[in-house]
Structure formats: structure tokens, C-alpha cells
Amino acid sequence: MAPTAMPEPLLRASPILECCDIAFERDFVPIFSGLSFALRRGEMLQVSGANGAGKTTLLRMLATSLTPSTGQILWRGECLERCRAAYRSDLIYLGHQAGIKAELTPRENLHWLLPFHPNASGSAEEALSAVGLSGLEDSPCVTLSAGQQRRVALARLHLSTATLWILDEPFTAIDRDGVSRLEQLMRAHTSRGGVVILTTHQPLGLDGVRLLEMEPYVCA
């Protein structure tokens, strides 16, 4: 929760997520280094770069799946190492693999995930109809198309009340209508004071998106 003593404008002005000079190496091979940025509430960051530039690595690092080799990440001014549990319950991460069980129905998929989002609100049915899957709640995910399976994963965004969304290629396999729905959803989230970090190769139909180019930080 936000500190109550701090007035709202000041709170918005101070960064909620800060990366200070982070570097990452895998098996002693440096991937990127010297990366710094700060995000305030209500901001959206698009990480861009060529294939293999380390976008997914950066996102997985921000999702606490990987630890930076040097440098540190601050969440609400506190070092991530010290507020990991609080950070994780305020975070939603959608990776390359959607995290969807093909044998389960969309409803079952959301139901088992619900308790893992501590502050989830709304019902699985509402979330599924919000991503345009009403009527398919009870058909096994194997029978759904790739895009529809992706929508099941995206339905989690409707359930969660997490502040930080980290989305790795969220538009993969999504049709045009789905893309605009997702963009609206992200816009609504940032206008509520949420933060979105995403990677995509698609041009975004949103303005005010900050761009982080990986190129200067990549180690040759």
C-alpha cells in the first residue's frame, strides 16, 4: 500500500520502479549492461530491440525470475531483495508461454490461478467475457485456437488488481479487435495509476508510451 503520509501529487512524481545501472550475464557472457530507467505511476514502457537483444531477459529480471548480475532494482524506493513478497503480490507477469493448461477449460484455468492473485477481484466468467471468450468457458483449451488460448491468459489481467503488469509479447496471435481491446485495457490500467511494461514488435495505437531501446546496452 502507498504511504499515507505522502500527498498524492508527490507520490505520483516519485518513481515507483527504478532500475539503477543493472547488468546481466549468463554463464559469464554479458548480455547487457549499464541499463537504468525509472517509471512513475501511470506510465507505460515499451521495451524494443532486435531479436536476441535481451528484452525477455530484462522482463524476466523485472519479474524476479532472474537476478541482475550487478546493479539493483527499487520498488517504491525499496530494494527488491527486501520486499520480494510484497512486490510479487503486486505484479502480474505474462511470459512467452502463456501459462495455460491445454487439458483444462478456460474456466478451470482461471479458477486454479485465482488464489495466486491475492487481491483478485471479479469472477472468472466476467473476465472471460471481457476478452471475448463467452460461450467457450467450458471447452478444453486444446480445442481453442492459439489466439483464443492467449486470450485466456490475458483474462488474468481483468482479475488482478496488481499495480505492475509485465507483458512479454502480449499481442502474439491476437486479432485486430483483440489488440484494440488490450490497448484499451492497458490505457485504463495506467490511468488508474498502474504501470505497464511490455515488449512488442507491433506499432502501438496508444500515445504517451515511453520507449526503451535495448540497442545501446547490448554487449557485443
Partner 1 sequence: MSAPDVVPTLATGRAFRALLARDLTLAFRHRGEMANPLIFFVMVATLIPLGVTPESRQLAVLAPGVIWVMALLASLLSAESLFLADYRDGTLEQLVLSPQPLWLMVLAKITVHWLVTGLPLTLLSPLLGIMLSLPAAGFGPLMVSLALGTAALSMIGAIGAALTVAISRGGLLLSLIVMPLYMPVLIFGASAVQLAVDGMSPAGNLAVLGALLAFSCLLSPFATAGALRVSLHG
Q: How far is the CB of 3 from partner 1 (least distance, A)?
A: 5
Question: What separation in angstroms does the CA of 192 have from each of 105, 157, 169?
Answer: 31, 14, 23
Angle between helix 176-191 and 146-159 (nearest 10): 20
Given candidates 38, 102, 146, 211, which one binds partner 1 under the rule CB under 8 A? 102
Residue 6 Cβ vs partner 1, minimum distance, rounded to whole Å: 10
* In the complex, least distance from residue 4 CB atom to partner 1, rounded to whole angstroms: 8
69 in contact with partner 1 (CB under 8 A)? no
H or E element at residue 13: helix 8-13
Contact 35, 54 (CB under 8 A): no
The answer to the question of residue 100 lying near partner 1 (CB under 8 A) is yes
Contact 53, 60 (CB under 8 A): no
Q: Would you count residue 8 as binding partner 1 (CB under 8 A)?
A: no
Position 85 contacts partner 1 (CB under 8 A): yes
Q: How far apart are CA 181 and CA 187, in angstroms?
A: 10
Q: Stretches 48-56, 88-96, 194-202, 210-218: which one binds partner 1 (CB under 8 A)?
A: 88-96
Q: CB–CB of 158/122 below 8 Å? A: yes
Looking at 101, 179, 187, 218, which residue binds partner 1 (CB under 8 A)?
A: 101
Which residue in 55, 76, 107, 189 binds partner 1 (CB under 8 A)? 76
Question: Could you tell me how many residues of this chain bind partner 1 (CB under 8 A)?
Answer: 36
Side by side, the strands of the sheet bearing 44-48 are: 91-94, 164-168, 195-199, 44-48, 209-213
For residue 2, the minimal CB distance to partner 1 (Å) is: 9
Rounded to the nearest whole angstrom, what is the least distance from the CB of residue 127 to partner 1 in the complex?
A: 16
Measured from the CB of residue 198, what is the shortest distance to partner 1 in angstroms?
17
Give me 150's grid cell. 492467449
> If we measure between CA atoms, which residue out of 116, 124, 200 comes closest to residue 162?
116
Would you tell me which residues interact with partner 1 (CB under 8 A)? 1, 3-4, 63-67, 76, 78, 83, 85-86, 88-91, 93, 95-104, 108, 111-116, 118
